[in-house]
Amino acid sequence: MTEFNELSRQFQISDLKEQRADLHFFHASKEHAVAVLTSLKEKYGYTHLVFFTVVDHLEKNEFHLTYMLHNYEKHHDMGVVVKIARENVQMESIHHLWPAAATYQQEIREMYGVEFPGSPGLYENFALEGWEDIPPMRRDFDTKEYSDKTYYPRPGRESHDPREYMKENLYPGEAETW
C-alpha cells in the first residue's frame, strides 16, 4: 500500500493489515502518531475523522487508541492503532487537526482516564457528573460491585400464589369445594 510504504520510511509504523479492500489498519508509535495522522490528512487526503476511541486490553496492560480516518476521493478507511501503557496515560491532542476531536478527547478522558494536555474543555463533564470512581469504561471497573455499593436493594412488592390468593380472598366460601 503506497501510503503505508511511504509513511514507514519516515515514521515508526508497523503491522499493516487489510481487513477489506477499502479498510486497512496499522500500528503507529505513540511519539509518531500525531505526525502520521497529520500526514494522512494533509498529504494523502484522509480528511474525515470518522471516530476516535480506545480499546482496553487489561491483560496486556495496554490501551489501544484507535483513530479512524476516511478518504472521500478513494473511498478508503485507514485505522491507526496506537498502543500505550495503562498507567498515567497521556496522549498528544489532535484538536488542532479536527476541532470535533476535542469532544472525542473529552469523552475518552472521562471514560478511560486518558489525558490530552491542551485539549479544549477536557476537564468538563461529558456524560457523567461528579464521578469519583475509576473511569467507568476501563475493564477493571466492576459494574456489578458499583451498583451493589451505590444502590440499596429494594424489597419487592408483596406477591401471592394466584391460586391460593383467590381461594382465600375472593371465593372464601367456595374454596373448600375446590
Interacting residues with another protein (CB under 8 A): 19-20, 22-23, 25, 47-51, 53, 55-56, 66, 68, 72, 75, 77, 79, 98-100, 102-103, 125-129, 136-137, 139, 143
Asked if 69 and 78 touch (Cβ cutoff 8 Å), the reply is: yes
What residues form DSSP beta bridges with 67?
Answer: 52, 80
Q: Which residue, 150 or 159, has its beta carbon nearer to another protein?
A: 150
The CB-of-64 to another protein minimum distance in angstroms stands at 8
Q: Compute the C-alpha angle 159/162/167, nearest 5°.
A: 120
Question: Is 137 in contact with 131 (CB distance < 8 Å)?
Answer: no
Nearer to another protein (CB atom), residue 33 or residue 76: 76
What is the smallest separation between the CB atom of 124 and another protein, expressed in angstroms? 8
Q: What is the rounded distance in angstroms from the CA atom of residue 59 to the CA atom of residue 80?
A: 21
CB of 13 to another protein, least distance (A): 17
